[in-house]
Structure 1
Amino acid sequence: MPDTEPPQDPTQRYPRPEFPQQEQEHPGRTAPMDPPPDHGEDSYRGHGLLLDRKAVVTGGDSGIGRAVALAFAREGADVLLTFLPEEEREAEETARLVEQAGRRAVSVVCDIREERECRALVEKAVSEFGRIDVLVNNAAYQMSQPDGIAAISTSQFDRVVRTNLYGMFWLCKAALPHIPAGGSIINTTSVQAYKPSPHLLDYAMTKGAIVTFTQGLAQMLASDGIRVNAVAPGPVWTPLIPATMPDTTEFGKQSPLGRPAQPAEMAPAYVFLASPNASFITGEIMNATGGTPLP
């Protein structure tokens, strides 16, 4: 954000529901979304907080991942980002934004549901950068099922758990030998971890597990000088919403601020947790829920 920008009413800063009803096939694309998501393209201003850091951001092609990759680059970091084959064009745009900031962008196709691909991803990051200073476990899968548990198939359950939990576990395990003291891991959990929506039961379950994993791993790695934290977003306007939710017209209206967040509003939390300014913060969950009270 420009230093001279005047204070703004957070309830009015970005579009508020009702939004047009819109549907996309998973994993969704940014371009057709109405209103278009803001990743900080025209607003995020770096201050050298991550100068010459080497970062890995899973799910960096769009949404929160794109906003984090952009912010990290403008703070001085080189970024390796992952995407699925069908997300290649989205990933190209994120890479362009990173390079426009004067930093290296490495885009890697990776299905984090497969352990071998997670190991290969870490090897690629080390071969490109020599080390991993920041690992952001952001990639996730959800699919709304308004009919509840009876409608959640075993294949959906397996995909949600393997994407949201197995991938995070494997990446942390493989990356740790390459994260130096002073490095950090940042996981993406959710308001769903504390206030689960019945139609997102399987997704919410995994987000609760991410909270526990974050807090446990933080204690394990504290003596090594590696910090582990997580960000818990509330509703955020990303391609995952029209691709997985049956009704987009009132998305985010339930938050006390009366609207969903934009990806650009999530990125500063990740920057802070990755930066030296958070040197005494580990095992914490930074809630960015638009005012929804959490434990």
Structure 2
Amino acid sequence: MNKPAPFSLKDKAILVTGGASGIGLGTCERFVQEGARTVIADIQSPPQSLLDEGALYLHVDVSNRDSVMAAFDSAEAAVGKLDVVIHNAGGPGKGTHLIDSDEAVLDRVVALNFYGTYYVLKYAPRRMRDGGSIITTASVAGLQQNEGFFDYSATKAAVISMTKTAAVELGMRGIRCNAVAPGPVRTPMLPPAHILNTLAKQLSTLGRIAEVDDLVGVYHFLASDESRYVTGHTLVVDGGRLTGYRKEVLQLLAPP
């Protein structure tokens, strides 16, 4: 019997939320290239070129339960039971202190990041084959707290927690659940003038901000059968940001 090539995604049925831009778009482009039956679920349409290559687009608002359920129904009808679900849709807060925060903004961030993850983890397994893979996009903000990020950090910490719970509950079906926690990545969600573009060069041990291509291989690995014994894990992809700081960076903080 011929075994599939290592890391093969050929003919896998994959749904990606937030797949029309940024990290999600990069992973979808890779999956289509690898021969996966790729469903892009987003509030905006992906580039036409990707649809021309065979990807399917479904409009979905992950903060809306009925929208998420309808998307999974449509995906199963189009490509069959799913092998991989990647929940990448999410968004930032407003960058204010907790005591100055706007509850309406908090409600929006919770609806998108918390409830969006909850709905995907709740309804995806019903549309998946045993032995599949669920990958959520968290953030280093869910592991390290910084001033002005309380809402984003809290919801991304919840993404990590819920993903680990799902790993425990779905393990006997062979469904692996892992979170990816990127550091700052050059995407449309991070404007060119944002301070993290500059800070990433100093705070990461690799001395640069991440590009989308730096993340794609991580999702490829977790989607493939080569990661079949990896579950309940949070894979930090931050260029070493949480590892520690170089001496010259510390000297900038405390000059002699």
Indicate whether the TM-score tops 0.5.
yes
Which of residues 134, 145, 155 in structure 2 aligns to 1:185?
A: 134
Matched, 1:54 2:54: no
1:62, CA displacement in angstroms? 0.8
Q: 1:194–1:248: structure 2 CA closer, same or farther, 3 Å change rule?
A: closer
Matched, 1:108 2:58: yes
The residue matched to 1:120 in structure 2 has which SS?
Answer: helix
Matched with 2:242 is: 293
Q: 1:109–1:98: structure 2 CA closer, same or farther, 3 Å change rule?
A: closer
Query: Retained in 2: the 8 A contact 1:64–1:266?
Result: yes
1:151, CA displacement in angstroms? 3.5
1:150, CA displacement in angstroms? 3.2
Equivalent positions of 1:37-186 (< 5 A) are 49-84=8-43, 87-88=44-45, 91=46, 93=47, 96-97=49-50, 99-100=52-53, 104-145=54-95, 147-186=96-135
The residue matched to 2:149 in structure 1 has which SS?
Answer: helix
Q: Deviations over 1:41-69 (max 9, x none)?
A: xxxxx976111001110111111001111
- Deviating above 6 A after TM superposition, structure 1's stretches of 4 or more consecutive aligned residues are none
Equivalent positions of 1:201-280 (< 5 A) are 201-242=150-191, 246-247=194-195, 250-253=198-201, 254-280=203-229
User: One-letter code of the match for 1:96?
Assistant: S
List alignment gaps of at least 5 residues for structure 2: 244-256
> What TM-score do the two structures reach when normalised by structure 1?
0.76
The residue matched to 1:218 in structure 2 has which SS?
Answer: helix
Q: Deviations over 1:7-66 (max 9, x none)?
A: xxxxxxxxxxxxxxxxxxxxxxxxxxxxxxxxxxxxxxx976111001110111111001
CA RMSD, Structure 1 to Structure 2 (Å): 2.0
Q: Which is richer in strand? A: 2
> What TM-score do the two structures reach when normalised by structure 2?
0.87
Q: 1:215–1:248: structure 2 CA closer, same or farther, 3 Å change rule?
A: closer
List alignment gaps of at least 5 residues for structure 1: 1-45
Alignment size in residue pairs: 238
Query: Retained in 1: the 8 A contact 2:197–2:209?
Result: no
Greater relative CO, 1 or 2 (CA 8 Å, sep 6+):
1
Instruction: Determine the C-alpha separation between the residues in 1 that align with 2:103 and 2:42.
Output: 24
